[in-house]
Amino acid sequence: MEIWINPACSKCRSALSLLDAEGADYTVRRYLEDVPSEDEIRDVLDRLGLEPWDITRTQEDAAKELGMKDWARDESSRDRWVRALSEHPRLIQRPIITAEDGTAVVGRTDEAVRDALSR
């Protein structure tokens, strides 16, 4: 199991605390320093069953500067979104936990983290 975190994020710290409390075996990826490639983002999106706009923090300054709220949200625009997430990793919703069964969850709640643990 791997968890993508920003150490400054309270939701990430909560997820880590819960994983530790449950004795989970996991690897931490500080995704702002170890930036995921476009292929890694696509893989995580497939595991999440989501589209890139579903995990984009559109209220971040970078998203506003890029005008992302006006970007099309369709298959032909998918690569543009993925590229933006790779170039601006702060835009990626966090934390993301990859589960042992090949799926992933956005672990913003205790329930989502527990869901990842149960997989």
pTM for this structure?
0.93
Tens-digit pLDDT profile for residues 40-68: 999 999 999 999 999 999 999 999 999 99
9, 32, 35, 66: the active-site residue: 9
Residue 73 scores a pLDDT above 90: yes
| Nearest to 96, CA basis, from 60, 65, 52 | 52
Residue 116 scores a pLDDT above 90: yes
Please give the sequence-ordered ranges of beta strands (E in DSSP) within the chain, or none if there are none: 2-5, 27-30, 96-98, 104-106
Indicate the residue type of 38: E
Indicate the residue type of 64: K
Tens-digit pLDDT profile for residues 1-44: 999 999 999 999 999 999 999 999 999 999 999 999 999 999 99
Taking the CA of residue 61 as centre, how many other CA atoms within 13 Å lie in the half-sphere pointing to its CB? 0
Note if 12 is an active site residue.
Answer: no
